[in-house]
Amino acid sequence: MTPATKAAAPATPELVPVTILAGFLGSGKTTLLSRILREQHGHRIAVIQNEFGEAGIDSELLMQDAGEQIVEMNNGCICCTVRGDLVRVLADLQAKREARQLDFERIIIETTGLADPGPVAQTFFLDEGISNAFLLDSIITLVDAKHAHRQLDDFRQAQEQVGFADRILLSKTDLVGAKEREKLMARLVRINPRAPIKQVTFGNTPLDDILDIRGFNLNTILEIEPGFLGETKHEHEDAVQSFVFRADKPFDGLKLEEFLSGMIQVYGPDLLRYKGVLWLAGNGNRIVFQGVHMLMGGEIGKPWKLDEKRASVMVFIGRNLPEELCIQGLKQCLAS
């Protein structure tokens, strides 16, 4: 594998950051990736590309554009039948990197348009060898503004790709009117209120919107995005929904841990993402937590200032979640 460009030191010396590029069929993933590989940005990028058929053509297009060698994973979806192959490919890349046979500082995984990003993300937590070598930086989801409503109506995968996103890039906005675009953006916010949305044309977006976001890094103090606190409780028909819980009283840490553990045991398969900043009784620091399906973790955040108003904010994104039941359970975990 040859690097896309030469220069720049690795963004994370210890762990190789990985970006998952998701989006439904025709949303513009390959166009974006091609633009990244052509641009003289100084990053050394390895690419893992998943195609559902036996013969892939996107990699040939990318190599024509950038001279980049692409690691292909064909004849299966990266989130199911070839998930073991993903572990093997990552391990092989890391071994070649350590042997100085390859020179890259980060990896971009382009998933097939029918992929559920959840199992792909879990790979970086469930396999010890992978988690010791790679850092899952973020999931970037492209959404086709022209066809998104129908895709979201007809395909569960399209909803889950939006639900898992740390950033949403809205493509083909020139093909729809302002009202239709605003309606779609409102729907995307209802599904995933924490992911910033940006309109892009032919994959033209700054790399700062894609790389080094740290959306999945539990070792970094996470801050809630400004849109996270916005109103998100709306009636809609999408199976993937979200709700926010806020409290101006501290949590009892033991009660909360017990409740969340039980919640993910029952609803884990339907919990796409959950994330929050918590005020725990007797703790002078924020606690930042997040999870994917049945994987949950937390870190100590910044100290609360003496004159600062303390509060907890949590967001849950998933399929057909029992919102009222969850909210009542969380209320029972507040310190008396």
Q: Which residues contact 303 (CB under 8 A, 6 or more apart)?
A: 284, 285, 286
Q: Could you tell me the CATH superfamily of domain 16-209?
A: P-loop containing nucleotide triphosphate hydrolases (3.40.50.300)
pLDDT digits (tens, 9 = 90+) for 234-265: 334 567 778 889 999 999 999 999 999 999 88
Q: What SS3 string covers the chain?
A: CCCCCCCCCCCCCCCEEEEEEEECCCCCHHHHHHHHHHCCCCCCEEEEEECCCCCCCHHHHHHHHHCCCEEEECCCCCCCCCHHHHHHHHHHHHHHHHCCCCCCCEEEEECCCCCCHHHHHHHHHHCHHHHCCEEEEEEEEEEECCCHHHHHHHCHHHHHHHHCCCEEEEECHHHCCHHHHHHHHHHHHHHCCCCCEEECECCECCHHHCCCCCCCCCCCCCCCCHHHHCCCCCCCCCCEEEEEEEECCCECHHHHHHHHHHHHHHHHHHEEEEEEEECECCCCEEEEEEEECCEEEEEEEEECCCCCCCCEEEEEEEECCCHHHHHHHHHCCECC
Q: Which residues contact 50 (CB under 8 A, 6 or more apart)?
A: 72, 73, 74, 76, 77, 78, 82, 109, 110, 111, 112, 115
> What's the average model confidence in pLDDT over 70-99?
66
Domain with CATH 3.40.50.300 in the chain: 16-209
Q: How far apart are CA 26 and CA 237, in angstroms?
A: 24
Around Cβ 333, how many Cβ atoms within 10 Å? 18
Average pLDDT of the chain? 77
pLDDT of amino acid 232: 38
Q: Minimal CA–CA distance to 246: which of 305, 315, 194, 300?
A: 315
**pLDDT of 203 over the 80 cut:** no
Q: Cα separations (Å) of 1 from 35, 70, 96, 321?
A: 18, 7, 10, 44
Banded model confidence at residue 4, pLDDT cuts 50, 70, 90: very low
pLDDT of amino acid 134: 93
**pLDDT of 273 over the 70 cut:** yes
240-331 in CATH: which number? 3.30.1220.10
Banded model confidence at residue 9, pLDDT cuts 50, 70, 90: very low
> What's the average model confidence in pLDDT over 201-222?
70
Lowest model confidence (mean pLDDT) among 71-80, 152-161, 207-216, 283-292 = 71-80
Structure tokens, 38: 């052509």
Q: How far apart are CA 136 and CA 212, in angstroms?
A: 10
pLDDT of amino acid 238: 67
β-partners of residue 196 are none
Banded model confidence at residue 118, pLDDT cuts 50, 70, 90: confident
Side-by-side strand order, sheet with 16-23: 70-73, 45-50, 106-110, 16-23, 134-144, 167-171, 197-199
Banded model confidence at residue 141, pLDDT cuts 50, 70, 90: very high
Q: How far apart are CA 311 and CA 237, in angstroms?
A: 31
Residue whose structure tokens are 């046979």: 101
pLDDT digits (tens, 9 = 90+) for 149-174: 988 998 888 998 998 898 999 999 98
**pLDDT of 64 over the 70 cut:** no
pLDDT of amino acid 217: 55
Domain with CATH 3.30.1220.10 in the chain: 240-331
Residue whose structure tokens are 């190789």: 16
Q: How far apart are CA 84 and CA 176, in angstroms?
A: 40
pLDDT of amino acid 7: 38
**pLDDT of 6 over the 50 cut:** no
**pLDDT of 67 over the 70 cut:** no
pLDDT of amino acid 237: 52
pLDDT digits (tens, 9 = 90+) for 182-199: 999 999 999 988 789 999
pLDDT of amino acid 71: 54
pLDDT of amino acid 170: 95
Banded model confidence at residue 222, pLDDT cuts 50, 70, 90: very low
Q: Which residue has the higher pLDDT, 36 or 84?
A: 36
Please state the pTM of the whole predicted model.
0.67
**pLDDT of 50 over the 70 cut:** no
